Amino acid sequence: MKHFIRQEHLESIGFEFVKKYEHPGDDDDVYTIYRYRKGIIEAEVTYRNDYYDTFEFLVCDEILTCSFNELKQLDQILNR
């Protein structure tokens, strides 16, 4: 299932643009990746030959504390 999260969505909630890079794929495909960051979350929007392809995110290595209720929410989001 694709989550159509686009660059303007990220910017609207305070993510800052970090960099754009391109790399060739198989069969003459070109992937263009836009990386954004907010706090410890990095997010990437990828286009394949100028068409939306994927959205991915990474929670950077950080040691965090949270309440049990927050942990349950994170569990529901990250371990679905």
Instruction: Give the residue extent of every domain in the chain.
Output: 7-78
pLDDT, position 7: 92
**Tokens representing residue 19 in the block:** 């960099």
pLDDT, position 72: 92
Look up residue 68 and give its DSSP letter.
H
Q: Flag whether pLDDT at 39 surpasses 60.
A: yes
pLDDT tens-digit profile of 40-77? Answer: 999 999 999 989 999 999 988 878 888 999 989 989 98
pLDDT, position 60: 86
pLDDT tens-digit profile of 18-32? Answer: 999 998 888 889 999
Burial class (CB in 10 A: 0-12, 13-18, 19+), 53: middle
Question: Which of 40, 48, 54 minimizes the C-alpha distance to 7?
Answer: 54
pLDDT, position 12: 96
| CATH assignment, 7-78 | 3.10.450
Question: Which of 8, 72, 80 minimizes the C-alpha distance to 43?
Answer: 8
